[in-house]
Structure 1
Amino acid sequence: MWAAMHDAGRGVRGVEEPELPPNLFVISLLHDLQVGNYSRRAWGVFVRDSWRRSWQTLMENPGLRRSWLRFTTAGTIGILVAGGVCARLVAPSETVLFLATSLLWWAVLMADLGLHLGLMVNLESGELRRTIGVPNMLTELRAFGSIWVAWGAHWLTEGMPIPLVFVFGVAAVTDLLDGWIARRAHVSTRWGRLYDPFMDGIFFGVAAISLAVIGVLPQWIAALVVFRYALPVVGAIAFLFMRRRTPRIRHTPWGRASSASIAATIFLAGAAAGLGLPFDRLGPILYAIVVVAAVGALLNILMRGIEQV
């Protein structure tokens, strides 16, 4: 992530990353799941109680609910507007597919967000926020941008570079601002700490694959990017069930360097392809940096634990 390059020295500047406390509700659910020997009945209770807690949070916090509804509605309107622009540039069948995939992905993201509003807990005060907050909205928008990156890569092959460059530019801005705003405004949340690296993985993974499909990036770089982000996610899920406690995600220098190098490589490769600029000299240098940083981050995870991202 671009933000990683700005975060590397934050301890020196005195802006420390708030500690991520354990989620007692989730720990209790995991304990009951183990006591039930992970049977179908135990899983049913797990899903039922999780759903009830999510619904309770949604109903008992009208401010948070209104914030979620406004964000969901605004995003839907934005997609429809983008569809209108798309209709002027491409065939009707492609516009319909663009709208369908965009609305479906937005629905998935908003449903997940609605189910996890209970994670909107301020890490400094320990209180549930009344709104989703701008930083978390920016993180969600970056994850949503992954579907438009795929479309942008497709349109690039048809001689339309502007959509891809635009999406990359917006993603870069959201990546710079979400963490910066959260720390400076003291509104870092449990949701943001857990979801930011996950959303980065979605965006950069899809972006790397999309650029590899059209020949802008080597396929092995795309595979490395996907593996770099998938390992911590899979490991965190395994950690959650095996250790029966929520992982305390900590960002490390190697993790930041890896994310920053991946972001720089993907953004510059996409921009160069979109603007018709040469990338054959700069590319190999960036690929080497990505490999070194990714190996360092993965070794750090293996040696110090899955909580180090």
Structure 2
Amino acid sequence: MNRENQTIISEFLLLGLSSQPEQQQILFWLFLCIYLVTVIGNMLIMLAIGLDARLHSPMYFFLANLSSVDICFSSVTIPKILVNRIMRSNSVSYVECMMQIYFVITFGNMDGFLLMVMAYDRYLAICRPLHYTTVMRPALCILLVAISWIITILHALLHTLLMAQLSFCADNTISHFFCDPYAIRKLSCSDTYLSDLMVFVVGGMFFVIPFTCIGISSVFIFSNVMKIPSTQGIQKALSTCGSHLTVVSLFYGSIMGIYLRPSSSFSAAGPVATVIFTVITPMLNPFIYSLRNQDMKIALRRLILPKVILQMP
């Protein structure tokens, strides 16, 4: 397309998940409830870990970081949906859109890296218990989280800068509820080959490497669990790993098949599918880890319930 037929886009229009007013009202209250549950649930996880000395271990340190990332992940998309509904507007400025892309990529990838680090932590605890305390020192835990942040921030910056180099035509309508990179690239008048290539190469690595590491660690964990003579030990190991694998399945299962494909194949099912890992998964994480973890349930009860109730027979 010629440069003369291009125009400078100052804002985009988000069509959301539905164009029906009745459905939009239902979705508003649904997303509001989900956001409140996500923030409160993850905040309780963080407070319980911080206030209970028995939870001051590497596994719960990583879980607290995951909860903080989940709050940020939800806060990137849901508040904008709610504000637009209240203001009766679907617009999002170009700068806001680029910022949303940056933070969605950052927190989304950080979720994956934290799940990988947590899988490594469980591998050491179950498969190398004698070396666990010497390897998983506080300094290493902090280093693993810091490296994950640096890598994800640079990755998000790369894709955002590539996105900012694209030119857009008069069409500024996005068939999505947030500024999804694939949906944005479909509107571009310029060549998206480099951007698509980086998604497949770099983005693919950011998907495959954590997922592969989690899978390998899970195989080693389950092979070692079957060798544990104690039934109680097996149940505790499977409970801890089962919670982690449930979160991994929800997160990666929803991503798989959505983003590892050319932007030209992005379909209408994309917005609905992305709700799972951008909205639903951050909300479910606190419940999955707390309901299947006895130590976490005890810590949450001590945090929420008055001491008088806890002392009752």
Length-normalised TM-score, structure 1: 0.32
Of structures 1 and 2, the one scoring higher in RCO (CA 8 A, sep 6+) is 2
CA radius of gyration, larger in: 2
